Structure 1
Amino acid sequence: MPAFPIIDTHLHVWDQTRLKYSAFEGHPLFGHPYHVEDYRRDCGGLEIEAMVFLECYADFWTGGGQYLEEIAFVEEEAQRDPRIKAIVPMAPLEWGAAVEPMLAEMVEKHPTVKGIRRIVEFDADPRALTLSERFIEGVNTLGKFGLHFEINVNHTQMDIVRAFVKRIPNVPMILDHCGKPGIAEGALAQFRDDLAELAQHPNLSIKLSDLPVEADHRNWTEADLRPYIDATLESFGVERTIYGGDYPICLQATTMEGWVAVLDRALEGLSETELRKIYRDNANRFYRLGL
């Protein structure tokens, strides 16, 4: 384990008695609430200095959603564990400039809101959404409010991301879960090619998270993951690579401690300064935590 406290940039907490999450209904692992107390328990021996909450795909619909309600819920969680220092909610960026009043309310009334994630991976037509003029306008609007954008896709959609990032020149962005590479499919060559191109955009960082879930869940080995970890660092370097735990999604394939142990062994050759960047300092800067 790292010899210093780390920042976890990808925490989920949810409660089906407070908000509706149709995507989790009937799921054996996710079909019940997860609170910050569960996270604290499942961190085991990890020393976590701060956490960043990421939106949990709470139900939304044309013209509305549970965007502000989710923020309020997480703020209550943070009252019980003030290590939750930042919130990255969902917002309907596909509204284009019409999303500005909602973003203004988020920033003015909820100062821990640092960025926006709008999951396109599960959209009916990810390409049409992501490359639409209104969505591009909505993402670029984040710059007016000092917010960043988090990209959530899987490896079959990376060609969309390649085109998308060219349209977002100034807003800071981060690619969640390394773009969910096709580890189970053995798509390493594609992964390397995708990252080599994406890394050319200086406003894009990458979140080193969730790789066991993208492998064969319970049958993965460290040898399966290592080439993808190496390729991430080769393309983005220690300056733009940021650790994330992705609790409780990670529990499909590993534990919080187990994922960090894998990374520790993969990063053995790095200096303590470099490790601090990946596990803490880059996150502190990107999410403007002021720690």
Structure 2
Amino acid sequence: MTIVDAHHHLWDPAVGEYPWMTGDFAVLRRRYDLADLLPQLRAAGVSATIVVQVRADLAETVELLELCTRTTTIVGVVGWADLTAPDAAAQIDMLRTGPGGQHLVGLRHGVADEPDPHWLLRDDVDTALRALTDRGLTFDLEITTRELGAANALARRHPQLRFVVDHGAKPPIAQGWHQDWADGISDLALNPNVWCKLSGLVTEASWTSWTPTDLQPYVEHLIRSFSAQRLMFGSDWPVCELAASYTQVLAAANRSLLALSDGERRNILNDNALRFYQPPDASPGDQQ
């Protein structure tokens, strides 16, 4: 079985601002580019990826889209546009018509960093998300337990827009089971237009002592909530390197899915990312 990685990043602190790369995250303040990524993919048997924005500026998305014109490995870009701006729709169209623009599959915003837990329900954001729907694009929900209620209301407000929850909404694994997270995820998953990524869990656990067993209850809850039809694997590389290598993250994901059928594992590890993001020239079953 080949694998599609539905969530990784590339960055270069020399050309953009990454204010979160301080403290324990400061070790990530170096360039991670395609040359760093490709050996990881080859070692893990990953055939295609979706790269996800990190900086809240259009320039990063323009760069990532242009990169897609020079590689066949990255098949889609989850970019950024200012969803609160009056010209948000025009920003989206600019990205779509530039070099590699056909690879824009969706947008993301760092909602968990916003002071307002109901930021997703702003009127201007609502208008921008309708523009996404009209263009057949998607929206990544970068949220935590705090924002699950707003995300639920948003998903009901936009039933035609495909949403995906990044990192399982960041369950506080290192602190222990949190019922508010579990209940919020279950409620959000009742919306058929919401999917979820099995990604980023190792960095929510103890960076130095996590084991796959620590992740298992959270993976099982996500499977119960979304089923194998709406879950997709993501490495969250290179952020994952705070706690685990690329191959360790994939090994943990594979172990957590052992109870599933071959078809269910294929959905999570390959097909669902392509069904959800619908990148150009790629469809479920293509990545053989």
**Do these two structures clear the TM 0.5 threshold for a shared fold by scoring above it?**
yes
Q: What is aligned with 1:37? A: 35
Secondary structure of 1:93's partner?
Answer: coil
Secondary structure at the aligned position of 1:29 is classed as helix
Matched, 1:14 2:11: yes
User: Are 1:189 and 2:179 matched, yes or no?
Assistant: yes
Q: What is the 5 A alignment of 1:51-200?
A: 51-58=49-56, 66-67=57-58, 69-79=59-69, 81-95=71-85, 98-109=87-98, 110-127=101-118, 129-200=119-190
* Cα 1:39/1:111, change in 2 over 3 Å: same
2:193 counterpart of 1:203: yes
Secondary structure at the residue paired with 2:49? Answer: strand
Aligned runs of 1:256-271 on 2, under 5 Å?
Answer: 256-271=246-261
Q: Quote the offset at 1:273 in angstroms.
A: 1.4
Q: Distance in 1 between matches of 2:196 and 2:8?
A: 16
One-letter identity of the residue aligned with 1:114? V
Q: CA offset at residue 217 of structure 1?
A: 1.7
Once the 2 structures are TM-superposed, how far is the Cα of residue 188 of structure 1 from its aligned partner?
3.9
Distance 1:98 1:91 in 2: 10
Paired residues of 2:76 and 2:105 also in contact (CA < 8 A): yes
SS in 1 for 2:184: helix
Give the Å deviation of 1:163: 2.8
Conserved 8 A contact 1:188-1:227:
no
SS at 2:159's partner residue? coil
Deviation of 1:253 after TM superposition, in Å, equals: 1.1
Q: Describe the superposition over 1:158-201 as per-residue Cα deviations: whole angstroms up to 9, x where unpaired.
A: 23323332222211110000011121222342232112211111
What is the CA-CA distance between 1:43 and the residue it aligns to? 4.2
* SS state at 2:76 partner: strand
CA distance in 1, matches of 2:239, 2:211: 18
Unaligned runs of 5+ in 2: none
State the superposition RMSD in angstroms: 1.8
Structure 1 residues 47-72: Cα deviation after superposition (integer angstroms, max 9, x where no partner): 111111100124xxxxxxx31x2133
Aligned residues: 278
State how far apart, in whole Å, the 1-side matches of 2:127 and 2:270 are: 32
TM-score (normalizing by structure 2): 0.90
CA contact (8 A) 1:177 1:210 kept: yes
Question: Do the aligned partners of 1:154 and 1:180 also contact (CA within 8 Å) in 2?
Answer: yes
Q: Which of 263, 274, 277 is matched with 1:287 structurally?
A: 277
Q: Which amino acid aligns with 1:162?
A: N
Describe the SS at the equivalent of 2:77.
strand
Contact map agreement 2:68 2:103 (CA 8 A) in 1: no
The separation in 1 between residues aligned to 2:182 and 2:17, in whole angstroms, is 38
Contact 2:62–2:95 (Cα < 8 Å) also in 1: no
TM-score, normalised to structure 1's length?
0.89
Q: Unaligned regions of 5+ residues in structure 1, if any?
A: 59-65
